[in-house]
Amino acid sequence: MSNDATPRLHLPYLTASQAQKHLTLNEALGLLDGLIACAVQSRTLAVQPAAPADGALYILPAGPTGDDWSVAGAGALMRFEIGAWTELARAPGQLVYVRDEAALLLFDGADWVFAGEALGARAKLNKAATAGTASVLFQKGFSGRAEIGLVGDDALTVKVSADGASLVEALKVEPGGQVRLPKKPMAVAFRTAGAVTVGAAVVGLACDNAVLDAGGDYDPTTGVFTCPAQGRYRVAANIMLAASNAAGVLMYVYLRKNGAVLGGPIMLAQQPVAGALPNVPVETAVACVAGETLQIGLLRAGATDVVVFGDNYTRVTFEYLG
């Protein structure tokens, strides 16, 4: 340890027998003025300024020019005071705010680096028990709008809120890696109400037994699915023709959007032989906005009505794809 200055910042010590102690004290105060809450004007200016403001600080880039700067060299922390430049000591861990970049730098002992990179990008949140919470809450006007973290268990949970009154679980990643989307719009329904006679007008297919309806978006009495959010939707159906149909009868399968037929038929189904129970798989996708409705529509393709079999064989699926 030096008897003349502090070991890290090299602030000069006062000595017991020293005359004019105020000079040494003022020198130390000047160094502290530059090092505490340190803010430099720039770290890219290479030409020594002719008339800088008193107290101005700079980090020198490579190849600085000027009587004082060229001697100090790259990375030096230079301070101007009372007409003279002084190189301030740099200590490992020292933080500096760079005004023209709005960046926070840290001296790592060899160079100035971005503080965030030097300190690491990982933030650690800890909870004492599984039932506890370790999460980050995002707010708007101090009203909660989203939460990410371990909320009441060890699964990663994402919650969101439209009004700030309550948070709704939107995504959950189980500790084993399984991903659940509790609010993903999806409905699966079977028809149990008996056969449907398909004639010369498009009839909407209603499946009355909704075995899955995550958001309550499917109406089993009409077969209409109301899209709760903007995005793409998968629409699928499995339609079984009744054994009572004559051989060769034809039926079109359509997608109805907002009650109207959307484009041409998705599928043309045919009864191959009388007495058979042909199974007709149908699938398509469509873009919708919130509030629009979707439904499978059926229409006979010839002069003879077609009968669709129920009894849990005919089903529809509506799924939000994003």
Domain count, the chain: 3
Mean of pLDDT values over 220-247: 96
Please write the tens of the pLDDT for every residue from 167-202.
999 999 999 999 999 889 999 999 998 899 999 999
For residues 199 and 312, state if they share a domain.
yes
For residues 85 and 115, state if they share a domain.
yes
Of the pLDDT bands very low, low, confident and very high (cuts 50, 70, 90), residue 1 is: very low
* Residue at 5 is within a domain: no
The answer to whether the CB of 175 falls within 8 A of the CB of 166 is no
Residue 263 structure tokens:
């484009």
For residues 26 and 42, state if they share a domain.
yes
Amino acid 310: pLDDT: 86
For residues 52 and 83, state if they share a domain.
yes
* Residue at 111 is within a domain: yes
Least confident of 51-65, 106-120, 211-225, 295-309: 106-120
d(CA 146, CA 167): 7
Of the pLDDT bands very low, low, confident and very high (cuts 50, 70, 90), residue 14 is: low
* Residue at 15 is within a domain: no
* Residue at 247 is within a domain: yes
* Residue at 127 is within a domain: no
The 10 Å Cβ neighbour count of residue 34 is 22
Which domain range does residue 169 map to?
133-180
For residues 156 and 223, state if they share a domain.
no
Question: Which neighbouring-strand residues pair with 136?
Answer: 148
